[in-house]
Amino acid sequence: MKKIYSTILFVFALVAITKAQTTLTAGDIAIVGYKSINTNQGAIAFIILKDIDAGTVIDISNRSWLADQTGFTGSYGVDDVYTWTATNAIPSGTILTLGTGEVVTRVTGGASTSVGTTVKQSPGGTTAGFNLLSNNASNGDSVLFFQHSGAFDEPTDGASAGWITGIKTGIDWAEVKAGTANAFCAKPTALDGADLTILFPFGAGTTMQNGVYNGQLLGSASALRASISNIANWTTSSLNANDGGAHIYKLWSYAESDGTDNGQIGSSGTLSTTTNTAFEFSTYPNPAKDVLYINTKEPLQKVEVYDLLGKNVLSVKNNTEHINVSSLNKSLYILKLTSANGVSTKKFIKE
């Protein structure tokens, strides 16, 4: 009986570990695309810049943060809060989108699928859809990402460690202009650092209704944040018609298709990210179409490829100088090399 009881405790402990929340801090997420056409038809795309475990919670709000840094203002149902919980571990570099269907999705392997669970903390009556950013050309709006633990609770301190990132369109943070009262939002002081938020200022009598980041998607977290926060690396549109035209951007990676269209976030990159460096190695070409070559002095025991959901999609044992990736779908993958000295990984793109 004692042995059975110990086993049960071990299983519960293991579940608790695997479902533990990853604590995120300012800059661990970056916004890479948004759509604000028409009420309740908005969407926002974001890239994870830190590996997260199952059970990790991310809150997405378009409520206005007060200038005195003590909380949010604005009526629920107009300005809402969504809590997304990861049900699987998700690696750094994954692009996710919260959109009209009020769920978080990702595109991979030629399909768009729901990821994790999404709860609308502010029901907003019977109105369906995602009213993320204003469709009023003279206003603009804001979105703030934060994190809570335990029961849902909104932050009450602008310096809280739970703030992650934000975006502002139309007018500057904490700015007030004639006809833009509904667009006011202060920036939480925790996000005052460089490259932690994105700002598309008011100009030429209109605001930026739709936007997509078109720079590199490979690199260190700090390099990506710097590139993403530079609005010169974005394509934007002030049109707000929901006509499916060229100004309605596809909010997933350029290297992925939803079965109909390729995404428009990012472009072919030249940088690589090493997430684990037990030993050094390089790969080429990147992106790879048929064969990915591996250059290392380390005798390899195993070469593996994982998709961004952590699934092993390819495996080769013993020392090898290349791996055939022609059977893989176009996407971002993680290459994992194992030797007697440990494990090293890099990301690569299959074109």
Buried b (16+ CB within 10 A) or exposed e, 95-111: bbbbbbebbbbbbbeee
Candidates 235, 275, 233, 238; CA nearest to 251 is 235
Which range, 43-52, 177-186, 212-221, is most confident?
A: 43-52
Q: What is the pLDDT of residue 7?
A: 43
Residue extents of the structural domains in the chain: 29-237, 274-350
Q: What is the pTM of this model?
A: 0.73
Q: What is the pLDDT of residue 15?
A: 40
Mean pLDDT of all residues in 130-136: 59
Q: What is the pLDDT of residue 18?
A: 42
Q: What is the pLDDT of residue 24?
A: 96
- Is the model more confident about 183 or about 326? 326
Question: What would the pLDDT profile of 151-172 be if each residue is shown by its tens digit?
Answer: 999 999 999 999 999 999 878 8
Q: Chain-wide mean pLDDT for the chain?
A: 82
**Cα 252 off chain centre by:** 10
Is the pLDDT at 250 greater than 80, yes or no?
yes
Range 274-350 classified under CATH 3.30.565.10: no
Q: What is the pLDDT of residue 48?
A: 93
Candidates 303, 299, 308, 345; CA nearest to 329 is 308
Q: What is the pLDDT of residue 90?
A: 87
Q: What is the pLDDT of residue 311?
A: 77
First to last CA, the chain: 56
Is the pLDDT at 277 greater than 70, yes or no?
no
Q: Any residues with CB less than 8 A from the CB of 157 and at least 6 apart, and which? A: 69, 70
Q: What is the pLDDT of residue 132?
A: 64
For residue 274 the two structure tokens come to 């090493």
